[in-house]
Structure 1
Amino acid sequence: MVSVLDQVSSATERVAAQTGNGRSRRRVRLSGWHFVLFPIAILFLVPFLQMTLASFSPAKELVAFPPPFIPSHFTLDGYAKLFGTTDIMLWLGNTVIVSGTAIVSNLILCSLAGYGFARLKFAGRNFGFLMILATIMIPTQLLMIPTYILFANLGLLNGLGAAIVPWLATAFGIFLMRQFFLSLPAELEEAGAIDGCNRWQIFFRIVLPLARPALATLAIFTLLGAWNDLVWPLIAINNQQAFTLQLGIANFQGMHQTDWSLIMAGNVVATLPLILFFLFAQRHFIATMTFSGLKG
C-alpha cells in the first residue's frame, strides 16, 4: 500500500512540475507562435478593456455615437448606482451558491460516473455511456418546456433550486472524466488491489489524486456554464430574491431607456470573478490537455 501511494505522490509531483506548479520553472523561449498569438490575445482583450473603461465613463458619453474608447474623465457613478440602488450583492451571493453547488456536485458525481464507465465492467456500460453522450447533441431549446413542466410539478420554480438542479451533473463532465481515467495506467490500480485496497480506496487514494488536472478543468467549465446561465433562470425564476447575477443584470435593460453605465458596471462585477478563477486554475487546465498517462 505504501509503495503504490508513493508512486501516486511522485506521479502527481511530476505532473505539477510539468505544468508549472513545482518550484522549478522553465524559462520561456520566444517562438514564431508568440508573434501570432499575441495580436490575437490583444484582440480578445479589447472588448473587456472597453467594457471596463465604459463602466467608469459618464452616462452622456455612453449614449454618444460613436462612444469614446477612453472617457474624458473617470467617474464611479455607475458603481455607486449599482451597489446603492440594486440588489447586486444578493444576486452575487445567489450566483456563488448556484455555481459553488454545481462545481462540488459535478466534481463528485461526474468523477464517480466517469470512473465507473472507464473501469467497471457491467451490462450495458457502453450503451449507457452512449445514451448519456447523446444528450449533448440535443438542443437545449427543445428541453425548455418539458423541463419547466417537470420543475413545476416538483415545486422547484421561483427558487434557487430551479437554477441548481440542472447543473448537478453534466454529460460533458462524465465524458471528460471518463476519458481522463482511461488515460491512466491500470497497473497502479492493480497494485493497489494487491496491497489490499478495495474499490473505494483505490478510487479516493490512488485514482482521484492523479485526476486533479481533469477536476480543475471540469470545475472551470462548470463555473463558466453555471455562472453565465441566463436563458433557463429567465424562464424558471420570477422571484427577485432568487435572481442570479446574469438575470439581475438582464433586467437593467428597459424597453424605452437603458442605463448603460449601470449595465457596464454590472458586467465588470460579473466577469471579474471568472477571470480570477481561471488564472488560479489555468495550469491544471493546461495539464489536462497535455497529460496522457504516467511513465516510470
Structure 2
Amino acid sequence: MKPRQRNSILLTSTLAIALAVVAVPFYWLVIASTHSSGEIFGSPPPLLPGGEFVNNLSSLQESASFGRVIVNSSLIAVIYTVCAGAVCTLAGYGFAKYRFKAREALFGLLMLGLVIPTQVTLIPLFKLMAELEWLNTYQAVIMPNLALPFGIFLMRQSMLALPDELLDSGRMDGCGELRLFWKVVLPPMRPALAALAIFLFLFQWNDFIWPLIVLRDGASFTIPVALASLQGVDDTDYGAILTGTALAAVPMALVFLALQRHFVSGLLAGAVKE
C-alpha cells in the first residue's frame, strides 16, 4: 500500500471516529426526547424513536411555559449578538487602526479578561445590577458582557490585515470616519463578522450562571435556567428536559448553517499577526 493511500485511510478513519463521537450523543438526545423517563433509563436504552414526544412537549410547556422561554432566549440572544457585535467590531477597529497613548497597555489589560474566571466577577456585577435596579430584567443579562475580550481580539486581529492605504484613500476622498468604517472597513470583514456573530449568539444562548443569578421570575427565564428549574429532588421528568434540550439545539444549528461558509475563513482571518 502506498504511503498516500495509507494516509488517506488513516485520515478517513480518524474523521469517522470524530463524527461518531459528535453525532452519537446528539442522536441519542433526539431519540430520548421521544420517550418517557422510564423508557429512557430502561435496559437496554432506546435506540429508535418512540411515541412520547408530544406528551413530553406538553409537560414541558405546562411546567416551564417553554414557548415563553424560547421567546426570552431568542430576544436576549439576538439583541446581545447585535449590540456586542457592534461594540467588539468598533473596539477591534480602534485597537487595530488608531494610534494613541497606552494602546498596547490597554489592549493587554483587556486581554486579562480572557484569563480571569467568570466566577470572580459575579458578586461585584450582582451588586452593580442591584444598585441600578436592573435585577430580573433583560438588560441585566445583556449589558455586562457587551465588551467581550475574545470578540474584540478576533476583530482586532482580522482588521490588522486591512491595508492602511485603503483607509487613507477613503480619507483623501473626503470620507468621514463613520462612513469610512461602514463603507470601507466592514465589507471585507464579513467572514470575521459571521464568525463573531456565531460565537456571540452561542455564548449568550448557552449562558447559564449569570441569568440564573439575575433572573428571578419564571416568566423571564432563559432556556438553560428553565430546564434546570425542572430538576426536582425526588422526581424529575427527564423526558421533558431532554425534549427541551433537543429543541434548544435547533436555533444554534440554524445560525451555524446560515453562516457556516463564512465561519472558517473568519476564524482564519483572526490568525493574522501584527
Asked if these proteins are the same fold (TM beyond 0.5), I'd say yes
Structure-2-length-normalised TM-score: 0.90
In the other structure, the counterpart of 1:216 is 194
Q: Provide the C-alpha distance between the structure 2 equivalents of 1:246 and 1:51, rounded to a whole number of angstroms.
A: 16
The answer (yes or no) to whether the contact 1:136–1:171 under 8 Å persists in 2 is: yes
User: Post-superposition shift, 1:88?
Assistant: 0.6
**Superimposed CA distance per residue, residues 94-129 of structure 1 (whole angstroms, 9 cap, x where no aligned partner):** 111111111101221111111011001111111111
Q: Provide the C-alpha distance between the structure 2 equivalents of 1:227 and 1:51, rounded to a whole number of angstroms.
A: 18
User: Post-superposition shift, 1:70?
Assistant: 2.8
SS at match of 2:186: helix
**For 1:97-112, what aligned pairs fall within 5 Å after superposition?**
97-112=75-90
Q: Provide the C-alpha distance between the structure 2 equivalents of 1:147 and 1:67, rounded to a whole number of angstroms.
A: 43
**Superimposed CA distance per residue, residues 175-234 of structure 1 (whole angstroms, 9 cap, x where no aligned partner):** 110000001222211222222222222211111111111111111111111001111111
In the other structure, the counterpart of 1:90 is 68
The answer (yes or no) to whether the contact 1:105–1:169 under 8 Å persists in 2 is: no
User: Post-superposition shift, 1:146?
Assistant: 1.2
**Could you list the runs of 5+ residues in structure 2 that have no partner in the other structure?**
1-6
Task: Choose from 114, 125, 130 the match for 2:108.
Answer: 130
**For 1:1-296, what aligned pairs fall within 5 Å after superposition?**
33-70=11-48, 73-76=50-53, 77-291=55-269
Q: Provide the C-alpha distance between the structure 1 equivalents of 2:124 and 2:268, rounded to a whole number of angstroms.
A: 40
Q: Over aligned residue pairs, what C-alpha RMSD do you find?
A: 1.9
Structure-1-length-normalised TM-score: 0.84
What amino acid is the match of 1:74?
G
Aligned residues: 263
The answer (yes or no) to whether the contact 2:37–2:239 under 8 Å persists in 1 is: yes
User: Post-superposition shift, 1:242?
Assistant: 1.1
What amino acid is the match of 1:140?
T
Q: Provide the C-alpha distance between the structure 1 equivalents of 2:175 and 2:249, rounded to a whole number of angstroms.
A: 44
**Could you list the runs of 5+ residues in structure 1 that have no partner in the other structure?**
1-29
User: Post-superposition shift, 1:85?
Assistant: 4.5
Of the structure 1 ranges 220-229 and 61-70, higher mean CA displacement relative to structure 2 is found in: 61-70
User: Post-superposition shift, 1:39?
Assistant: 2.3
Q: Structure 1 169/66 Cα, relative in aligned 2: closer, same or farther at 3 Å?
A: farther
User: Post-superposition shift, 1:86?
Assistant: 3.1
Identity %: 37
